[in-house]
Amino acid sequence: MEFGLCIPHYGKSIDISKILDTVRRAEDLGVDSIWVTDHLLVPRTLEIIYRDHMLEPLALLSHVAAITRRPKIGTSVIILPYRNPIVVAKMLATIDHLSGGRLIFGAAVGWMEPEFAALGAPFAERGAFSDECLRLIKALWTHDRLSFSGTYFVFPEMQASPRPLQQPHPPIWVGGNSGRARRRVAELGDGWHATSMPLEALRAGIAHLHQLWARQGRPGEPLLSLRIACAIEGVSQDVLHFPPRPGRGARDSLSGSPSAIVERLGAYQEMGVRHVVLETSTQSHAGSAATLETFMHRIKPQLRA
């Protein structure tokens, strides 16, 4: 099992030195991946951690590529309807080159309707729009010349460059906990990037995804990953509390004693989860650092390879 960290680049006052120290510390401790996440505008009335002081993810990821050498770097997740997919494809291909081929592209449909409205993005059609975005991005990444004829994007033969360093393209991990998200994984993705799902819901979702994957006639199996909040008993004492997102399902967390967390991770491993991304952004920078250090020194060594 591999482990990553979602950079705490939101939810508290911006301190670039502390954010970058978190990145460097994570690499020094041996994490397998480093991640950024995405929101652009959040209603003032919605009290979620993503509302305040959020650095733009693709700009930040480009800098992360420059100051790291070993870990994979990824987006958890880019909300597809918020940006032109041609621009996103170009930016991510550039980041893949800058990082020496370490990019993982996590992408999802999004849920915050007022944010869609402010951006002029199609909320009611976000599923179909996102599917077309993924098809277009994959086409741009795998063809030097292409024409495209979709519902939202149409153009005659164009030269597309650069293609990513990774061939045929960087891994595409589709986010979202719904059945439709899993359908999108089976049709267009390489892996499922679930978020904070309770154990039994995750188990059922994985079984459903395997059915969809087989129905598509795809070889092998999808990569299974989970992003989840982590708080270690006796270590993560300075957790910052934020209200739950309205209208959203219950979110699980990876919390408790080190032994309890090892047991939960073992259950994930038995279900086939191969990558866990730790979310520590509700903690202070110092708390996030202590959580990560304890996790890598005391918890990860107890898990079987």
Per-residue pLDDT tens for 113-123? 999 999 999 99
pLDDT value at residue 135: 98
Q: What is the predicted pLDDT for the residue at 240?
A: 61
Which residues, in sequence order, are CB contacts of 152 under 8 Å at separation 6+? 129, 132
Q: What is the 3-state secondary structure (H, E, C) of 171-236?
A: CEEEECCCHHHHHHHHHHCCEEEEECCCHHHHHHHHHHHHHHHHHCCCCCCCEEEEEEEEEECCCC
Confidence of residue 147 (pLDDT cuts 50, 70, 90): very high
Write the pLDDT tens digit of every residue in 254-301.
999 999 999 999 999 999 999 999 999 889 899 999 999 999 999 999
Q: What is the dihedral of CA 154, 156, 162, 166, to 10 degrees?
A: 70
pLDDT for the residue 236: 86
pLDDT of res. 97: 98
Instruction: For residues 202-213, give the mean pLDDT.
Output: 98
Mean pLDDT check: name the lowest of 121-125, 182-186, 220-224, 237-241.
237-241
Into how many domains does the chain fold?
1
Proportion of the chain above pLDDT 90, given as a percent: 89
Percent of the chain with pLDDT over 70: 96
b/e per residue 243-274 (b: at least 16 CB within 10 A):
eeeeeeeeebebbeebeebbebbeebeeeebe
Q: Return the structure tokens found at 139.
A: 């086409």
SS3 of 272, please?
coil
Q: Work out the pLDDT band at 237, boundaries 50, 70, 90.
A: confident
With a cut of 90, say whether residue 48 has pLDDT above it: no
Q: Which two tokens stand for residue 231?
A: 């708080």
Lowest-pLDDT range of 80-94, 116-130, 234-248: 234-248
Peptide bond into 168 cis (omega under 30): yes
Range of the domain at 288: 2-302
pLDDT given at position 99: 98
176-188 mean pLDDT: 97
pLDDT band at residue 239 using 50, 70 and 90 as cut-offs: confident
89-93, 207-211, 244-248, range with the lowest pLDDT? 244-248
Q: How far is CA 39 from CA 81, 199, 227, in A?
A: 11, 27, 16
**Distance, CA of 63 to CA of 45 (rounded, Å):** 31
Structure letter (DSSP) for residue 40: S
SS3 assignment, position 266: helix
Residues pairing with 255 in the sheet: 231
For the domain that residue 226 is a member of, what is the CATH number? 3.20.20.30
